[in-house]
Structure 1
Amino acid sequence: MRFPRCVLPVIGITTLFAFCAHAQSTQAALKANAFALDISDTTLNKRLLEIFGPHRIIMMGEMHGTQEPARFVSYAVDQLLKAGKTINLGLEIPAVQMQDFTAAPSAKSLKQSAFFRTGFPDGRPGSAWFNLIDMYIGNKDVHLFFFDSDPDAGTIDYDKHMHAVVRNVMMQHAEATTVLLSGNIHNRLIPFSGGKTLACYLQQDTTLLTPAGVLSINHQFKFGAMENVTSEGFGIHKIEPAPTSFSEAVPFKMYFSTLDKNAGPYNAVFYTEEVTPSIAMTAR
């Protein structure tokens, strides 16, 4: 549930105080750090690159079935390439479902991969992720990899498995900046429901990190639609306008901002006023 202001149902005063303090901290960080973004602009974004610079790992978390996070990832990768970096680009996809593509990368083998041909009913195998992968096929400076566990393997701790895969890739390509796209639970810098997330494991892996640690980005929006699973089943679900600190603190329709690292589970935000659905490739 989103609360537009520090007005809540009757709850404990401590919880109320913490919520309001978090909202105020977020607003202060946005007013101090947010800057407008145009991801269609192909010129060098020095301000964004300065933020990226100290980090060896950049994580983008999304609500599955949306276009904007994958588009931001492609923008971020292009910016890093312009700055002379090489990239490990990882997506939350089971490697076993991408074996044919990995063996012979092409747009055809990508579309015929088990992941995009059969699809998870959660919004991931949509046009946004397909286009992101397709964009870097054959690019010698971008190492594509897939880090979700095999859904038939009976893995208990998915995030621990993901960490092992990401760690192995980073050890093999030690000079590269690693950019990851996943659901927004996996890139939380604090545990979720009592369990460590991928970001938690990475943040504690001192052999992989620069002193700056993980840059963990959350996507926020005000309204729109997405194609994913809710209690109503899989399909396109409309998001009604819901003002938050992210939509009201600064006037930009699209922006990027760092956040207070002690204020929540993410230390950066990518905001778009509208969110749009990523349509399943099986429907094409």
Structure 2
Amino acid sequence: MKRWMRRAVLAMTLLCSAAIAAPGPDETATQIMRHAGDHRLVVLGEYHGTAETPLLVADLMERYSRNTAAVRLALELPMSENVALARYLRSDGGADAREKLRTSPFWVVKDDQHDGRRSRDMLALIEAVRVLRAQGRDVGVAGYDTETGASTSSDQRDAAMATHLRQQFNALPADARMLVLTGNVHAMRTRSADAPPEMQKTMAAYLLDLPLYSVRLEALRGHFWACFQPCRAVPLIERPPRAAKEDTDADRQYDLLIWMPALSVATLTDR
């Protein structure tokens, strides 16, 4: 548990520093908020299994929830995890509560079964949301994915996830915002040319009638965790510094492409 606790402390250190220090002009969260503007459904397309992205999302949750603003975080977790997530948010975050959260069926996987969504860094993100809620912020977190191992095609899964997100978004107060963390393919407004034939539409493409803003989270260097038979750390192509790129073309895949400085592999959840 010690590593999990260190990650949670790190996430909260970020939240505290964000609350007392003015963000730098090139900071990733600042750029996302500036470009997303008043959009109430901000979809973040990530590389799964990194340490930095959960910290970025924790930062965004803290900033967006200031001044009594209502913010909900949607994670690529099965809907069956929502009872455990709600219970944890109501808890004191103690050892018993953490153990109940991380030993639910979704989190208990081993070795090559990890697809990057299960990490102590993600658990620390959930803890960061719990602390914000305990401080009186109007925040919450829920999953929107289908069940692990469900026999569905890529298109069926994306359609189901979009349906779950639509239901959760429609249940929000009129002025609330939702942050959605998902794989970068699900976040595409239009499918890529090399997408599998059965994928007619991506998750985000089913939601374009909503106030959606899609962000692709890239990085200049580093690694992420992915299942390319077998699951392993995958290196990114190293690139020189570059500015965020906004796209307004009708057939765009993302509204914003943003480059984080670096990514590193998250700490996986098996003991």
Relative to the length of structure 1, the TM-score reads: 0.71
Shift in CA distance, 48/158, structure 1 to aligned 2, threshold 3 Å: closer
The structural deviation recorded for 1:97 is 4.2
SS at match of 1:270: strand
Aligned ranges for residues 58-97 of structure 1 at < 5 Å?
58-97=42-81
Q: 134, 148, 151: which one pairs with 1:151?
A: 148
Aligned partner of 1:215: which letter? Y
The structural deviation recorded for 1:44 is 5.8
- Are residue 199 (structure 1) and residue 201 (structure 2) matched? no
Match in the other structure for 2:7: none
Aligned partner of 2:216: which letter? N
Shift in CA distance, 179/56, structure 1 to aligned 2, threshold 3 Å: same
Structure 2 stretches lacking a partner, 5+ long:
1-13, 24-29, 90-96
Match in the other structure for 1:181: 181
The structural deviation recorded for 1:199 is 0.8
Q: 98, 103, 119: which one pairs with 1:107?
A: 98
In the alignment, is the contact (CA less than 8 A) between 1:49 and 1:79 conserved in 2? no
Aligned partner of 1:170: which letter? F
Match in the other structure for 1:124: 117
Shift in CA distance, 78/258, structure 1 to aligned 2, threshold 3 Å: farther
The structural deviation recorded for 1:236 is 2.6
- Are residue 259 (structure 1) and residue 246 (structure 2) matched? yes
Cα deviation 1:72-111 (Å, max 9, x = unaligned): 2111111111243211210011122454443454423221
The structural deviation recorded for 1:47 is 6.6
In the alignment, is the contact (CA less than 8 A) between 2:246 and 2:256 conserved in 1? yes
In the alignment, the residues of structure 1 paired with residue 79 and residue 172 of structure 2 have an alpha-carbon distance, to the nearest angstrom, of 18
Aligned partner of 1:226: which letter? F
Shift in CA distance, 70/195, structure 1 to aligned 2, threshold 3 Å: farther
In the alignment, the residues of structure 2 paired with residue 248 and residue 137 of structure 1 have an alpha-carbon distance, to the nearest angstrom, of 35
The structural deviation recorded for 1:219 is 1.3
In the alignment, the residues of structure 2 paired with residue 161 and residue 177 of structure 1 have an alpha-carbon distance, to the nearest angstrom, of 21
Shift in CA distance, 150/71, structure 1 to aligned 2, threshold 3 Å: same
In the alignment, is the contact (CA less than 8 A) between 1:44 and 1:79 conserved in 2? no
In the alignment, the residues of structure 2 paired with residue 50 and residue 223 of structure 1 have an alpha-carbon distance, to the nearest angstrom, of 24
Shift in CA distance, 260/47, structure 1 to aligned 2, threshold 3 Å: closer
Shift in CA distance, 165/240, structure 1 to aligned 2, threshold 3 Å: closer
In the alignment, the residues of structure 1 paired with residue 116 and residue 188 of structure 2 have an alpha-carbon distance, to the nearest angstrom, of 20
In the alignment, is the contact (CA less than 8 A) between 1:226 and 1:238 conserved in 2? yes
In the alignment, is the contact (CA less than 8 A) between 1:98 and 1:113 conserved in 2? no
The structural deviation recorded for 1:71 is 1.8
In the alignment, is the contact (CA less than 8 A) between 2:49 and 2:117 conserved in 1? yes
Shift in CA distance, 83/198, structure 1 to aligned 2, threshold 3 Å: farther
Larger radius of gyration: 1
In the alignment, is the contact (CA less than 8 A) between 1:60 and 1:69 conserved in 2? no
Shift in CA distance, 275/47, structure 1 to aligned 2, threshold 3 Å: closer
Shift in CA distance, 180/195, structure 1 to aligned 2, threshold 3 Å: same
Residue correspondences, number: 228
In the alignment, is the contact (CA less than 8 A) between 1:189 and 1:216 conserved in 2? yes
Bigger strand fraction: 1
Q: 256, 259, 266: which one pairs with 1:268?
A: 256
Aligned ranges for residues 236-251 of structure 1 at < 5 Å?
236-239=233-236, 241=238, 243=239, 247-250=240-243
Match in the other structure for 1:26: none
Identity of aligned residues (%): 21
- Are residue 235 (structure 1) and residue 240 (structure 2) matched? no
In the alignment, is the contact (CA less than 8 A) between 2:106 and 2:148 conserved in 1? no
